[in-house]
Amino acid sequence: MNEIIKKNGINFGIILGILGITSQMIVYAMGGISKENAILNSVLQFIFWMAYLVVRIIQCNKTKKEFNGFISLKELFTTLTITILIGILISQSFTFLFNNFIDAAYGELLNKFMNEQQILAQNAMKSFTKVSNEDLKKIAETNNFSILNIAQGTLIAFLVSSIMNLILAAIFKKNQPVF
């Protein structure tokens, strides 16, 4: 693997991981996720999502420049994939540790809030899908910060980010002209 791809993937992955931790800590410092500050949290999440996008665009430009202006889709996709793997793993590891060990009481409150929101969403969907009381009971008992659910969230985040990586790589690639 090319050293530029590896170096940029690792460096920008650490930046994304730090951004993920920072976003979680800002929400935590503002009282956590709740009905009362849901709009503010949504705005913060949008701002951090835009920051993730900007970091990845900067990464594309920097990597392309280090390749003397010509870089393939595969090379860009590879460095972006390394970045999201590292960033997601850092952020999700912190989420697991923070909500299960550092402040488990906050993790329990956040878990309860998340489950209540899922139940509200399921109740709203009852007219479209079949939702039983047993389904609602399972949701209420779900531990969103278990290792299995964190791993599932990591996989989903990776898949969604991979789509964005393909789009960014397609936009920023520039193949060397063949004469």
Q: Hey, what are 161's tokens?
A: 């980010």
For residues 104 and 134, the model is more confident at: 104
Distance CA 143, CA 104 (A): 12
CA distance 118 to 38: 15
**pLDDT reported for residue 145:** 93
Tokens of 103: 């402040």
Task: State how many domains the chain has.
Answer: 1
Kindly state whether residue 17 falls inside one of the protein's structural domains.
Answer: yes
pLDDT band for position 41 (50/70/90)?
confident
Question: Closest Cα to residue 53, out of 168, 173, 174?
Answer: 168
In a domain, 13, yes or no: yes
Question: Distance of CA 144 to CAs 84, 125, 131, Å?
Answer: 21, 21, 20
**Which residue range forms the structural domain that includes residue 10?**
3-172
Q: Which of the four pLDDT bands, split at 50, 70 and 90, describes residue 14? A: very high
68 falls within a domain: yes
Q: Which two tokens stand for residue 30?
A: 């503002």
pTM listed for this prediction: 0.89
Query: For residue 34, what is the enclosing H or E element?
Result: none
Q: Is residue 109 situated within a structural domain?
A: yes
Residue 22 lies in a domain: yes
- Percent with pLDDT over 70 in the chain: 99
Question: What would the mean pLDDT of 135-156 be, rounded to a whole number?
Answer: 90
pLDDT-derived band at 117 (thresholds 50, 70, 90) equals confident
Question: Quick one: tokens of 153?
Answer: 């969230």
8-state DSSP, 71: B
Assigned domain for 110 exists: yes
Instruction: Give the pLDDT band of residue 127 (cuts 50, 70, 90).
Output: low
| Residue 102 covered by a domain | yes
Residue with tokens 């060990």: 101
Q: Would you state the pLDDT for residue 136?
A: 76
- Flag whether pLDDT at 66 surpasses 80: yes
CA distances from 52 to 48, 114, 115, 143, 165 (A): 6, 24, 27, 27, 12
| pLDDT (0 to 100) of residue 130 | 73
86 with 10: CB under 8 angstroms? yes
> Which of 85-89, 120-124, 174-178: highest mean pLDDT?
85-89
Q: Does the pLDDT value for residue 97 go beyond 90?
A: yes
Whether 35 is in a domain gets the answer yes
In this prediction, residue 157 carries a pLDDT of: 94
**Span 24-33, average pLDDT:** 88
First to last CA, the chain: 27
Round the CA-based radius of gyration of the chain to a whole number and report it: 20
% pLDDT > 90, the chain: 70
